[in-house]
Amino acid sequence: MVIAQQELDRTNADLGRDPAKLVAWALSPERCPVVSTSFGPFAAVTLHMATQQDPHVPVLWVDAGYGTPAQYRFADELTAKLNLNLKIYRPRRSKAHREAIDGPLPGIDDPRHAAFTEEVKLEPFDRALKDLGSQVWLTGIRAEETAERAEMQPVSLARNNVVRVAPVLYWNARQMNDYLKRFGLPNNFDYFDPTKVDDKRECGLHLAR
């Protein structure tokens, strides 16, 4: 099913500042939706919004193997609390295998970093979307996080023409925290993404198609 740009524009105009309605639009069964997470800060907000409307929606976690101990504990805690239908995808090589051959994590200025990002984040993500048949991707990104995200629309075309839906794009940290408190949800700030390194840098998933 191809979603026309006109429908995306209309959805942005009508629903762009209503997270609950954006989630409902995204979770239409014919769209084969998926929700992604990295189990980073405020991850519980979008996951809770989605699973309240569809408890069985697939939740995609691309685990590159570089998360912090707290991040992995948080992943287990939140998965159990929300009874997530978690789909974990990993790089084709383990962290130990990759580092034995290619050495430790390359810095963001290292010319090898692009290939590293492709291997540990982009390829597993694309493989997951293909396996799951997903045409709509729900994500918890927010405009205040990076310069690239500040230029995005709540509903837009992303990698491989999957429709990206960001229901909390316009929410700030206070609104996110208020939501966590309202529903008694946990949070975690001890988080690391090896493809971003810097919190204000994109990992590649949300860059231009």
Domain 5-183, classified CATH 3.40.50.620, yes or no: yes
Q: Is the dihedral of CA 150, 152, 153, 158 positive or negative?
A: negative
**Which is the catalytic residue, given 45, 82, 168, 203?**
203
CA distances from residue 120 to 12, 34, 115, 203, 204 in whole angstroms, order as listed? 32, 19, 9, 11, 11
Q: What is the pLDDT of residues 98-141, one digit of tens each?
A: 999 999 999 888 999 999 999 999 999 999 999 999 999 999 99
Residues above pLDDT 70, as percent of the chain: 93
Position 22 scores a pLDDT of 96
Position 208 scores a pLDDT of 47
Q: What is the pLDDT of residues 135-180, one digit of tens each?
A: 999 999 999 988 888 889 999 999 888 999 999 999 999 999 999 9
**Which token pair is 203?**
């990992």
Res. 45: pLDDT tops 70? yes
Give dist(CA 171, CA 174) in Å, integer: 8
Residue type for 72, please? Answer: Y
Mean of pLDDT over the chain: 92
Q: What is the pLDDT of residues 178-200, one digit of tens each?
A: 999 999 999 999 999 999 866 65
Position 123 scores a pLDDT of 96
Task: Report the 3 state secondary structure along 177-203.
Answer: HHHHHHHCCCCCCCCCCCCCCCCCCCC
Those residues whose C-beta lies under 8 Å from the C-beta of residue 115, and which sit 6 or more positions away, are: none
* DSSP, res 9: H
Residue type for 34, please? Answer: V
Domain boundaries, the chain: 5-183
The answer to whether residue 203 is catalytic is yes
- What's phi and psi for 160, nearest 5 deg? 55, 25
Give dist(CA 177, CA 48) in Å, integer: 13
Q: Element (H or E) spanning 138, and its range?
A: strand 136-138
